[in-house]
Amino acid sequence: MSVTAAKGFLACGVRSGMKTEGLDLALVRSAAPAVGTAMFTQNRVQAAPVVVSRRHLDQAQPQAIVLNSGCANAATGERGELDALATAAEAARLLELSSEQILLCSTGVIGVKLPLDKLLLGLGLAAPALSETGGDDAARAIMTTDTRPKQARASVAGFTVGGMAKGAAMIHPQLATMLAVITTDYPLAAGEAERFLRPAVEHSFNRISVDGDCSTNDTVILLANGAADVERSQATDQEFGQLLGQVCHELAEQIVKDAEGFTVLMEVNVRGAVDEGQAVAIAARIASSPLVKTAAFGHDPNWGRVMMAAGSAPWNGGYAELDPSKVTLAFNGTQVLANGAQIDATPAMEGVSCVIDLDLGLGKGCASYLASDLSYEYVRLNAEYTT
């Protein structure tokens, strides 16, 4: 069920003392030579581990990943980058790799210097603890305000895709405080991984929102080591793409369901847009609207808020196309608007699911988004985050 589900991958989670309690340092590596890629946040403020990992990917194929919780190592200037480089160098020494083969992920409070002494001591504990059964501890070690670890796996005859993720707030990925590591024993050649990872991320991690905020540290990494005994073909490539997409979707959904203050899972489905790009823009705007999210928390089918959000979706320097007279809208399967006309109906809104189906009646563009509601508890948690 974990990041070590595929053959030839090792992981562990240890306590280094960066957090006040619990595991806080994870290490993942491929025992066999691997290839890989990563997608990173597009936020202009990028954490030191993102900067260093981007550079390392340009220089070598990744073989191992160091992930710490408790400190984001973001907005820490030159010192933060030097600390990230020192982390990679020590991990490389311990694992007998080159520094450029190490990728880094950090999560926690922004603007706090990395406690490098603790991290390096933790690496000394982590390297000998690597094992095929260490995936569960690794998934726990990367948690911050998460209430539970997030793991997924999928297999077909011959190969496996496994993964872990963390994230509970500052979630509105633009990828390419969400981190994800995906591993597979499917054979890929150098340079091929991004071709598979990008569409999987686009339809999973890039289609979720907790609070509409794009983190400084968002990272999704894919490692493939070819340890599976499978003869590659166009058909197996298609199967691999499907499995990778399935694992990414399951991890993304787990992130939303564990969002800070979560009480309702919002599913926003948009169809009939002029094109897919505009459908995505409208779905994202609805999913991230504080007014729509608070209505979901209150189990209120306030269709006016959905229309407001849909009509103000940023697109190409303006707003996405929408004709109110052609819109059909439903909550949990019950229509409240049909071709722009209100229907006298009361949708059932109790429970932990709010499905919003919006048909714009303009074209063939469609997209879906998952989001959490916005509750009192979310506000409380984030009002007290550093105090």
What amino acid positions are annotated as catalytic residues?
Answer: 177
Query: Phi/psi at 199 (nearest 5 deg)?
Result: -65, -30
d(Cα 271, Cα 293) in Å, to the nearest integer?
20
Which of 161, 134, 133, 136 has its CA nearest to residue 149? Answer: 136
State the alpha helices, DSSP H only, in the chain. Answer: 48-59, 77-95, 116-129, 135-141, 193-202, 234-257, 276-288, 290-297, 303-310, 376-383
- Give the residue among 208, 198, 137 at the shortest CA–CA distance from 168: 208
- 26 three-class SS: strand
The helix/strand/coil state of 181 is strand
Query: How far out from the chain centre does Cα 236 lie?
Result: 25
Q: For strands 314-315 and 219-224, give the pairing.
A: unpaired
In single-letter form, the type of residue at position 284 comes to: A
- The answer to whether 152 and 244 are in contact (CB under 8 A) is no
